[in-house]
Chains A and B, each alone.
Chain A
Amino acid sequence: MRSGFVPFALGPALLFAAGLAGAVVSGAAAPGFTITDTAGKAVQLADYKGKYVVLEWTNPECPFVRKHYSSGNMQGLQKEWGSRNVVWLAINSTNSTSSEFKTPREMKAWMESNGAAPAATLLDSTSDTGRAYSAKTTPHMFVVDPGGKVVYAGAIDDKWSTNPADAKTAHNYVRAALTEAMSGKPVTVASTTPYGCSIKY
C-alpha cells in the first residue's frame, strides 16, 4: 500500500536549490566562474587575471536597467573603461525558468540595439554565479582588481530611481572606484547597498 508513495516522497528531496551564499563584499576574493556568452563562447573570470574586471548584473526587463541604457549611461561606462583595458562583463542571472529569461539571441539583440559595448554578455541561466556573488538586484555592480579581489560591490550610483535623467546627475560609484583603484589609491566607497529589481532566481 505504501510502495506507491515512496517514489514521490523521495523525489522532491532532490530539488533543493541553494540559497544565496555568503555575500561577496569588497575585500573578498571574487568567486570564479565559467559562463557561456551570447556568442556561445565559454568565459572564465580566471581568463582576466591581471586586469581590472567590472561585473554588471543586468536584465533587459528591469526598468532600473533600462534607465541606465536608455540614458546611455551604461554604454558610456562600458566604452570609457573598455578603452582603458578594463574587462567589462555584463551578466544576466535571470533563471531559465523565469518568464523574464532571455535566450542568447534575444540578449545579444537587445544589447546590440542599445549599442552596448561590454567585453562579453554572459547568460547565467542557472543563476549559480548570481548566487555565488549574492547578487541581489539589477543592476548590481562589482569591481575586481588584477589580483582577483573585489574592490567595490554595490549600487551603480547614488540616485535610487528609474528616471533616466537621474543617471547624469548621480554620483557614479563604479567610476569613482575604478578611478581610485587604478591610480593606486584605496577605494573610498567600497561597498554600498545596491538598488534595482530583484534578480529572478
Chain B
Amino acid sequence: MLVMTAVMLFASSASPAPVKTAHVEAELVAAKTALVPGEPITVALRLVLEKGWHTYWRNPGDSGLPTTLTWTLPPGVEAGPIEWPAPRMLPVGPLVNYGYEGVALHLVEIRPQRSLAIGGTAVLAARADWLVCKEVCIPEGADLTLALPVAESAPPDARWGPEISAARATLPQPLAGWSASAIGGGATVALKLVPPAGAAVPGVVRFFPFAVDRIDPSGPQPITRDGDAYVLTLPVAPTLSGPLDRLAGVLTAASGFGAVRAATIDVAVAGNVAPGAKGAPAPAPALDLAASRSGAGDGITLALAIVSALLGGLILNLMPCVFPVLTLKVLGFATHHDTRSTMRQEAVAFGAGVVLTFVALGAALAALRATGEQLGWGFQLQSPAVVSALAILFFVLALNLSGVFEFGQLAPSGVTNWTAKNRTLDAFGSGVLAVIVASPCTAPFMGAALGFALGAPAASMLLIFVALGIGMALPYVLFAWFPGWRRRLPRPGPWLERFKQVLAFPLYATVIWLAWVLGAQRDNDALLRLMLALLGVGFALWASRIVRLGGARPWGIAGAFVLAGAAIIAWPLFVTEPVVTAKAAAIDNASDERWMEFTPATVAALTASGRPVFVDFTAAWCVTCQVNKRLVLNAEEVRAQFAAKGVALVRADWTRRDPAITQALAAFGRSGVPVYVLYRPGKEPLLLPEVLRRSTMQEALATL
C-alpha cells in the first residue's frame, strides 16, 4: 500500500516529457511533489536552448520579445508573475539584446487556496510563447501541463527542487547594504552607488532597466569613482517619451555587490532628463562586431595570407621553443652519411608530419568554433592542462640536451630498433613534435594570418595552415634535399656535445615561462604541483640512466616510484577546472592602476568621451606581448607620451578564455594576441604591428 502510494505520488508529480520545438526544449517543473492548500509553491517554465540561440528578458533590449506565460488553472489556484532571473547582454552587431542562453528558469509562484480539497489532482496548464533568435528569429510556443496531487504535505521534488532553489537563490534581490541614488543630467542619468564600509570592488557593473523606453540598451555605461562611491553613467533612450522620474531595473556586478551578483533597484531620479536627442554616444567602431567581422576577410587577400603564413612558418624555426630542437635535427645531417634518396624520403616525412599536425590543429579549432565556442588561435594555451603538459615536455627535452639521459634508453629495445629501421616514421614523429613544441610561439606570431584563416572558407583555411607547415619544414627539407648545402654545415666534433648542452638553456627558460603562465592561470599551489612533478620527472630520468650504466636496480625502482608520485601530484593540473580568481591577478596586479580592465563598454565610453584610447590585447602565455610590454609600453618615454597626450590605457587580458575579448579580436580580423589598437579622436583607429618598437609607438602617438 505504502509502495503504491509512493508510486502514485511519483507518477502524478512528474510532468510529461519536455516539449521540443526547433531550437528549444520546454517544460513546467515544480519545486515540490504536491500542492498543499494554503502553501505557495514555486513552479518554473524551464527552457533549454540550443547552443548559440537566445530568448529574452522582460525588457528584450534593442529588439526581440519577452517570453510570456498564460495560465489555465483549476479553481482555487492562482499564479503570480514571472520572477525573472538576471539577464545577460547579448550583442547583435551594433545592437544589444537582454536575455538568456543555455538553460533559463522562469519562476512563478503558484498559490493554492486554503479551501482546496485534499486528495485530487490539480492540473496546471500554461501556454508559453517565446521568440528564439540566433541570426534569425523564430517565434515558438508550447502548451505545457503539470499535474500535481493535492496533499497535506509535500516533500521537495528530488530532481527539480534543488535546481529551482538554486535559481531562486540567484534571483535579483533588492540591493542591500549599498545605497543608490540617481541624478539626471540631460541625455544621461548618473546612478551613484555608495558601498557599505569595507565592500569589495564590484567589478564591471551593468544596469538593465525594466521598462523598454528609458535607458538606451546599446549605449555604453561607463563607471567612475567618486570618493568611495561608484557612478554609473546611463544614456537616456532617444525614444524616451514622458518623464523619467524613477530608475527601476536590475544591476549586475561581475564581482558582486557583496555576495550577490544581481540586485534590483528602484530609485527616484532627481535633476533633469532629456531624451538622448543626439543619440547615445555611438558604439566604438571597433566594437561593431557583426559588421566588421563579416568584412574581416577583405582585409588581406588569400594570396597575401598564404605568403605571410609561409614566411611566418619559416620564422617559427627561430623561436626559442623550436630553435634548439630543429638545429639539432639539421646538424644531425652532418653525422649521417645516407643515400640521397633516404635523406629525401625522411625530409618529406618530416614535412608531412609538420603540415598534417598544423592542419589537424586548425581543423580542431574550426570544429570547436563551429559548435559556438568563443576560441581563437592560442586557445591551447588557455588550458592549464596543456600548459602543464608542455612544461613537462620541454623539461624532458631540455634534460635530454643536457645529457641527463638519451631518448633511446627509455624505449624498450625492440621499439628502438624498429624506429631505427623505420626512420621515415621517426622523421614524421619529429615533425609532429616540432609543431607541438612550436605551439606556444605560433599563437603570438601568427595572429593575422590565422585570424584570416579562421574567418575564411574551409578550403582557404586549409591552404593557409598548409602554407604555415611548409614554411616551417622548408629549411630542414632544403638541407636534406641538397647535399651541397649540407657540406657547408660545420663538421661534427666535441663542440657539438657542448653546443647541445648550451641549447638546453632556452628550453629551461621556456619551462620557467610556462610555469609562470600556469601560476597566472591557476594559483601558487598549481605552481608547486608542477615544480614537484618536474622534480620527480628529473629524478626518474636520472635514475634510468644510472640503471642503464650498470647501477644498482633499486635506483630504477626508486625512479619508478618517484615518477608515479609525480604523476599523482600533477594529476589535479590535468583534471580540475581552473579556479576563477579575480581577473586582474592574471597578468597585472592591481598596482598597475594606469591600465583599465577591458570591456567593450569601457572602450566605447572612453572613445565616446573624445579621449584617445590605447588597447593592449595581451596574455600571460604570449611572449611577444610580454617583451612588448617591458621594452615599449612600460618604457619611460612611452609612458610620458601616453600621459602627455591624455591617452586612456585599456588592457584586455586573454590569459584565460574570455568571449568578449575573442569577439573584439575577431572584429579586427584577428584570432590571437598581441593586438595593439590606438583609437584616435576623429580618425580611423590605428592597428600597430605585433612586434612593437618604441619608434613605431611614438610615431603612432604623434598622429594624435
User: Are A201 and B291 in contact, CB atoms less than 8 angstroms apart?
Assistant: yes
User: Are B300 and A19 in contact, CB atoms less than 8 angstroms apart?
Assistant: no
Query: Per a CB cutoff under 8 Å, which of B64, B135, B285, B449 touches A18?
Result: B285
How far does the Cβ of A134 sit from chain B's closest Cβ, in whole Å? 6
Knowing A5-B689, A97-B294, the reply to whether A15 touches B92 (Cβ < 8 A) is no
User: Are B292 and A16 in contact, CB atoms less than 8 angstroms apart?
Assistant: yes
Q: B541: CB under 8 A from chain A?
A: no
User: Are A9 and B687 in contact, CB atoms less than 8 angstroms apart?
Assistant: yes
User: Are B239 and A16 in contact, CB atoms less than 8 angstroms apart?
Assistant: no
Give the docked Cα–Cα distance between A160 and B685 (Å). 39
Give the docked Cα–Cα distance between A131 and B288 (Å). 11
User: Are B131 and A162 in contact, CB atoms less than 8 angstroms apart?
Assistant: yes
List, in ascending order, chain B residues with CB within 8 A of A137's CB: 62-63
Give the docked Cα–Cα distance between A21 and B135 (Å). 22
Which residues of chain B in 118-155 are interfacial with respect to chain A, using CB atoms and an 8 Å cutoff? 131, 133, 135-139
Query: Per a CB cutoff under 8 Å, which of B139, B296, B691 touches A2?
Result: B691
User: Are A19 and B288 in contact, CB atoms less than 8 angstroms apart?
Assistant: yes
Query: Per a CB cutoff under 8 Å, which of A4, A14, A197 touches B312?
Result: A4
Q: B441: CB under 8 A from chain A?
A: no
Give the docked Cα–Cα distance between A58 and B294 (Å). 21
How far does the Cβ of A101 sit from chain B's closest Cβ, in whole Å? 10
User: Are B448 and A191 in contact, CB atoms less than 8 angstroms apart?
Assistant: no
Q: B686: CB under 8 A from chain A?
A: yes
Q: A63: CB under 8 A from chain B?
A: yes
Q: A34: CB under 8 A from chain B?
A: no
Q: C-beta contact mask, B71-98 vs A, less than 8 Å → 1, else 0?
A: 0000000000000000000001111010
Give the docked Cα–Cα distance between A6 and B311 (Å). 12
Give the docked Cα–Cα distance between A172 and B319 (Å). 66
List, in ascending order, chain B residues with CB within 8 A of A97's CB: 294-295
List, in ascending order, chain B residues with CB within 8 A of A5's CB: 308, 312, 445, 448, 689-691
User: Are B448 and A8 in contact, CB atoms less than 8 angstroms apart?
Assistant: yes
Give the docked Cα–Cα distance between A50 and B276 (Å). 28
How far does the Cβ of A186 sit from chain B's closest Cβ, in whole Å? 13
User: Are A191 and B285 in contact, CB atoms less than 8 angstroms apart?
Assistant: no
| Given pairs A17-B285, A20-B279, A98-B294, 15 additional interface contacts (CB within 8 A) | A9-B689, A15-B298, A16-B292, A19-B285, A22-B279, A63-B139, A153-B239, A154-B239, A189-B241, A191-B238, A191-B240, A198-B63, A198-B97, A200-B135, A201-B291
How far does the Cβ of B66 sit from chain A's closest Cβ, in whole Å? 8
How far does the Cβ of A13 sit from chain B's closest Cβ, in whole Å? 4
Knowing A9-B688, A191-B238, the reply to whether A127 touches B63 (Cβ < 8 A) is no
List, in ascending order, chain A residues with CB within 8 A of B284's CB: 19
How far does the Cβ of B116 sit from chain A's closest Cβ, in whole Å? 34
Chain A residue with the shortest CB-CB distance to B296: A15
User: Are A127 and B237 in contact, CB atoms less than 8 angstroms apart?
Assistant: no
List, in ascending order, chain B residues with CB within 8 A of A18's CB: 282, 285, 288
Q: A184: CB under 8 A from chain B?
A: no
List, in ascending order, chain A residues with CB within 8 A of B689's CB: 2, 5-6, 9-10
Q: B625: CB under 8 A from chain A?
A: no
List, in ascending order, chain B residues with CB within 8 A of A61's CB: 136
Q: B699: CB under 8 A from chain A?
A: no
Query: Per a CB cutoff under 8 Å, which of B137, B237, B448 touches A197?
Result: B137
Q: A111: CB under 8 A from chain B?
A: no
Q: B65: CB under 8 A from chain A?
A: yes
Query: Per a CB cutoff under 8 Å, which of A11, A134, A189, A197 touches B300?
Result: A11
Q: A99: CB under 8 A from chain B?
A: yes
User: Are B299 and A20 in contact, CB atoms less than 8 angstroms apart?
Assistant: no
List, in ascending order, chain A residues with CB within 8 A of B60's CB: 195
Q: A193: CB under 8 A from chain B?
A: yes
User: Are B279 and A134 in contact, CB atoms less than 8 angstroms apart?
Assistant: yes
List, in ascending order, chain A residues with CB within 8 A of B64's CB: 195, 197-198
Query: Per a CB cutoff under 8 Å, which of B97, B135, B216, B690 touches A99?
Result: B135
Knowing A5-B690, A5-B691, A7-B304, the reply to whether A193 touches B237 (Cβ < 8 A) is yes
Of A15, A136, A190, A200, chain B has the most CB atoms within 10 Å of the CB of A15
User: Are B139 and A13 in contact, CB atoms less than 8 angstroms apart?
Assistant: no
List, in ascending order, chain A residues with CB within 8 A of B451's CB: 12
Q: B362: CB under 8 A from chain A?
A: no
Chain B residue with the shortest CB-CB distance to A3: B311
List, in ascending order, chain A residues with CB within 8 A of B216's CB: 23
User: Are B65 and A162 in contact, CB atoms less than 8 angstroms apart?
Assistant: yes
User: Are B131 and A191 in contact, CB atoms less than 8 angstroms apart?
Assistant: no
Which residues of chain A in 82-141 are interfacial with respect to chain B, using CB atoms and an 8 Å cutoff? 95, 97-100, 127, 131, 134, 136-137
Knowing A17-B292, A20-B279, A195-B65, the reply to whether A100 touches B135 (Cβ < 8 A) is yes
List, in ascending order, chain A residues with CB within 8 A of B315's CB: 1, 4
Knowing A9-B448, A193-B213, A198-B95, the reply to whether A19 touches B691 (Cβ < 8 A) is no
Give the docked Cα–Cα distance between A14 and B683 (Å). 11
Give the docked Cα–Cα distance between A190 and B240 (Å). 10
Q: A181: CB under 8 A from chain B?
A: no
List, in ascending order, chain B residues with CB within 8 A of A151's CB: none
Give the docked Cα–Cα distance between A23 and B213 (Å). 14
Q: C-beta contact mask, B661-704 vs A, less than 8 Å → 1, else 0?
A: 00000001110000000000000111111110000000000000
